Amino acid sequence: MQGRLAGVVVALGVLSGCSSETPSEREAPLTQRVLAGRGCDVNPTAEEMADLERRFQQERAVSAYVRPIGSVEVPLYFHVINKGTGVVNGDLTAKMINDQVAVLNAAYANTPFRFTLTKTTRTTDPVAFENFGPAIKVALREGGKNALNLYTANLKNNLLGHSTFPADYASNPKLDGVVLLYTTVPGGSAAPFNQGDTATHEVGHWLGLYHTYQGGCVSPGDAVSDTSAEASPAYGCPTGRDTCAPLGVDPIHNFMDATDDACMNSFTPGQAARMDAMAQTYR
């Protein structure tokens, strides 16, 4: 797609409490707002989380067990927004895209989910590249509720990525998906966040996970029983960090914390079960 996308809205950049959301976006229910990526501290309040969890329990699909590892194929539509040719302008190479898909599949290897690159689109639009907004999703999104649409662009305010939650799909199907800073894919320049795990983290939100530090040391935390409580995001790779003693050391290696890509390496069985239950309910 060439040329400017009509009606592009300024990016929903949320960082450290500062937001460039439009008024209509601020008024949207929490799960319809962007969830900011690592380096940001934007989380549901305890009341909002309770509402989300009540809805999930009411609507939850009956499932006696987590589906077998690798049994759920997720079609992946990869949308590259750029301002011209060359990686420096956001035009990711085929290798970078394939490597990103490989990172996702490695990260989710112990879950039911496998991601299959179904289609790649390239949109040359300098305005959209610098100011990613909902209109781009509306113009480009493909597939049904089970399809992952992943967009790359030049996000602002040090934002690495953002995502919608599964329950959002029914009310806003065209806004469903994950958005990444283009330099976070494997081979990008956003070190130490350039090994592809920003996508892993944001897809975790897309499948229904909260941050591991959700709710701090207060139960129910991130609504997953086998992730240790954590008072705040962990940065770098602080081995042995324990902010909620004596509840166990912080889960700094978990993909849903805020550590460097090289530090992240796992989801827990409880997280895999929650993602599967969310997918069976909403996707």
How are strands ordered across the β-sheet holding 72-82?
35-36, 161-163, 178-181, 148-153, 72-82, 113-124
By three-state DSSP, how is residue 112 classified?
A: coil
Continuous H helices in 28-125:
46-59, 94-107
Q: Which amino acid is residue 219, in one-letter code?
A: S
Q: Which residues are catalytic?
A: 202
Task: State the Cα–Cα distance between residues 32 and 238, nearest whole angstrom.
Answer: 32
Distances (CA, A) of 102 to 50, 97, 234, 266: 35, 9, 25, 15
Residue pair 193/174 in contact (Cβ under 8 Å)? The answer is: no
